[in-house]
Amino acid sequence: MKQGSNSTVFWRFVGFITLIVGIVISLPLIVFVFYPDEVHLAKFFYLPALCYFALGVLLIILTNRPDSGRFRPNQEAAILVGAWLFAILLSTAPYILSGSFNFTQALFEVTSGYTTTGLTLFESLDAAPRCFLFYRAMNIFIGGVGFLLVLSSVLNLRHAVSIYGAEGHKERLIPNIFKTAKLILGIYLVFIIIFTLAYFALGMRIFDSLIHSISSIATGGFSTYDDNIQYFNTPAIEWVTILAMFLGSISFTLHFAFFRGKWKTFFGHAETKFTFLVITAATVLLLIIPNSLNALPFLTQVRQALFNVVSAISTSGYVAGTEGYSASAAMLLFLMLMIIGGQVGSTSSGIKQYRVVLIAKSLWWSLRDMFGNRRVVRVNKMTNYGEREAIDKNDSLNCAMYITLFFAILILGAFVFMCYGHNLRDSIFDFTSLLTNSGYSYGIINPSAPSGILWTSIVGMIFGRLEIFVILLAIGSVIYGVKAGRRG
């Protein structure tokens, strides 16, 4: 593909992304119908929305021409990362125009939303304007499934297929990639509607119901209250949230299989078995660990332990009674659960359970080959979506590389936090939370945090949401393009 055509494809995608951001920014205008006392804030949404609509349409018109050929190496990754960064940058407008945050703080807030991390710099969520809480929820809604999936579900763009894959969507529920995107978005919306109604039936206001439903399914962990889900102090709401977070951590491919009655595909999948195993073991461990919650009724202990385990492994970040657990023991357990994360193809982040299962099996296979009969030729297999698939050594190597890079970035980020005077425990825990888009914090992330802390956090959240390999491929593609341009 010629360079000019590459540039056309990029700016065409930027045009559509700009339109999506304009739509997202305009959605909070609905809130003013129900909260007219906040109407004075409307201009901070409709002004940038109108500008982005105009810019998006202009870019689409200017790039409305046929393109041919292929992307240069890894260019789809560069377009994906560029589109996400551009969207994040545009989305800071309401916060900056309203004077709620400076540029760095606004960038952090938007990044936290789109990456479904859920951390916030608002001094008090209880006192925050409802329009901004709704806007933050819309960021989480889009970030839960990704910009390119949303774009692919409404537009049959020629190059959306490769960019859709670069965003981490390897699943194809049906052969047609565009219909697959629509199905995933449909499942996502159905879950949100169901849990909105469930929360409302349990006594939440409709506004709170919608926000918590989106945040639970998208595993964002964002609430409309400072006390998080504990504000409602209702066991039934906690049980509903457990189910919502759990579903958010499950692959959309498995949801589709479940709805079609393919039980073997759902329950036979390696990640599903691992999910149930880890959640059960971690819940039992929390119940065994001595803590102040032992005085509570046993079923209350089980509910709160299960709630926190599912919240951590789904990288949601909701909390329920965590102050009662032993700080060091609970921290280590939550740390491991955050790092493991959810399934591939879900709204969760983390290393992803597939990689954890694969590296564990690879270790077993290596030990077996080392101490077993070396004359026996074995084919290593894993059960993926109900089918036994052969695992290539390169798969294990790539998995090991990813995990190595993950911990290298984690150490580097924690080191930066320690340079600002924070202790080892808090630094490791908070940056792990950022890198896995979980949203827990020991207090390092706060409204008065230095810019260096916030910028490090922003980088960590983006690495966690878009995944390390994609960003490295994007950087490589940019370097390749610069060198090619100099030679050309």
Nearest residue to 401 (alpha-carbon basis) of 465, 358, 432? 358
Q: What is the pLDDT of residues 432-469, one digit of tens each?
A: 999 999 999 888 999 999 999 999 999 999 999 988 88
What does residue 249 show for φ and ψ, rounded to 5 degrees? Answer: -90, -5
What average pLDDT score do residues 341-364 get? Answer: 92
pLDDT in tens, 3-54: 445 567 778 878 888 999 999 999 999 999 999 999 999 999 999 999 999 9
d(C-alpha 278, C-alpha 340), whole Å: 10
Whether 322 shows a pLDDT value over 70: the answer reads: no
How far lies 305's CA from each of 308, 310, 321, 334, in Å? Answer: 5, 9, 9, 11
Task: Tell me the torsion sign for CA atoms 435, 440, 444, 449.
Answer: positive
Identify each DSSP E strand in 152-308 by its residue range: none
Q: From the CA atom positions of the chain, what is the Rg in Å?
A: 23
| Residue 71 reports pLDDT greater than 60 | no
The full 3-state SS of 67-106, as one line of letters, equals: CCCCCCCCHHHHHHHHHHHHHHHHCCHHHHHHCCCCHHHH
pLDDT at residue 380 greater than cutoff 90? no
Say whether pLDDT at 74 is over 60.
yes
Q: What share of the chain is helix, strand, coil (3-state, %, to 5)?
A: 70, 0, 30
- Tell me, what's the pLDDT at 4? 44
pLDDT in tens, 302-314: 999 999 999 999 9
In the three-class reduction of DSSP (H, G, I as helix; E, B as strand; rest coil), residue 255 is classed as helix
**Per-residue pLDDT, 410:** 97
Can you tell me the distance from the alpha carbon of 23 to that of 20, in angstroms, rounded to the nearest whole number? 5
Q: Tokens 């697959």 appear where?
A: 180
